[in-house]
Amino acid sequence: MQNQIFGLSFGFAALLLAADMASAQPVARCAQRDVIIEKLASSYGESRRSMGLAGDNSIIEMFASTDSGTWTITMTRPNGITCLVAAGSGYETVEEELPAKLGLPT
């Protein structure tokens, strides 16, 4: 009887662990770029503030709203699919000068 209880509790623990691991998997939030851009604009009032090219030829963009303070970072792959990378609040524009000892970029 004790072995059966141990076996059942072990099986139940394994089931809970498996469920927890499944819920910890990241949710991919990707779609065609125009769909993502429209959602950011219409739902959050965000527009593109900066962009750059990553080493794998993906385009990294930051969208933000100065009104709401929300921001979103996206990555668009060469195949045109855009994924949300990060999002948050408290956005503000900052422009800083390079320290004099570094000089101007060449």
* Residue 21 identity (one-letter amino acid): M
**Helices assigned H by DSSP within 1-106:** 2-23, 33-44
Letter for the amino acid at 48?
R
- Residue keyed to tokens 């929300």: 70
pLDDT digits (tens, 9 = 90+) for 59-103: 999 999 999 999 999 999 999 999 999 999 999 888 888 777 766
The neighbouring-strand residues paired with 86 are 73
Tell me what the pLDDT averaged over the chain comes to: 80
* N- to C-terminal Cα separation, the chain: 78
pLDDT in the model for residue 104:
63
What's the whole-model pTM score? Answer: 0.66
pLDDT exceeds cutoff 80 at 1:
no
Backbone CA torsion sign across 78, 82, 87, 90: positive
pLDDT at position 93: 87
Backbone φ and ψ for 68, nearest 5 degrees, come out as: -95, -20
